[in-house]
Copies of this chain bind each other. A is one copy, B any other.
Amino acid sequence: MIFKEEKVFKDPVHKYIYVQDQLIWDLINTKEFQRLRRIRQLGTSFFTFHGAEHSRFSHSLGVYEITRKIISGFERAAYEDWPASERLLSLCAALLHDVGHGPFSHSIEKVFKVMHEDWSCRIILGDTEVNEVLRRVSPDFPQKVANVICKTYEKPIVVGLVSSQLDADRMDYLLRDAFFTGVNYGTFDIDRILRVVRPYQGKIVVKESGMHAVEDYLTSRYQMYWQVYFHPVTRSSEIILRKIFLRARDLHQQGYSFGFFLHPLDDLLANTLTVEDYLRLDESFIQTTFMQWTMEKDPILADLCRRFLERKLFKYVTLDQVDEEAVNELKSLLDSLGADSTYYVEMDFPTDQPYDVYQPGGSKEKTTPIYLLTEKQELVEISHVSEIVRSISGVHKGKVQLFYPADLLAKHRAAVTPSVAKLLGS
Contacts and interface: CB of A to CB of B under 8 A. Distances in A.
Interface of A: 4-5, 8-13, 15-16, 29, 31, 34-35, 37-38, 46, 49-51, 53-55, 57-58, 61, 77, 179-185, 187, 189, 191, 195, 212, 215-216, 219, 222-223, 226-227, 262, 280, 282-285, 287-288, 291-292, 306, 309-312, 387-388, 390-392, 396
Contact of A223 (B53, B195, B215, B396): B215
Contacts of A51: 10-13, 54, 58
A350 to B, nearest CB: 14
A15 B310 contact: no
Given A31-B309, A50-B37, A392-B388, A181 B10 contact: yes
A189 B195 contact: no
24 contacts: A10-B51, A10-B181, A11-B51, A12-B51, A12-B179, A12-B182, A13-B51, A16-B191, A31-B306, A31-B309, A31-B310, A34-B309, A34-B311, A53-B54, A184-B187, A184-B189, A185-B212, A212-B227, A219-B219, A282-B287, A284-B285, A288-B288, A388-B388, A388-B391
A139 B10 CA distance: 47
B216 A29 contact: no
A223 B227 contact: no
A51 B176 CA distance: 10
B287 A291 contact: no
Contacts of A77: 4-5
Contacts of A4: 77
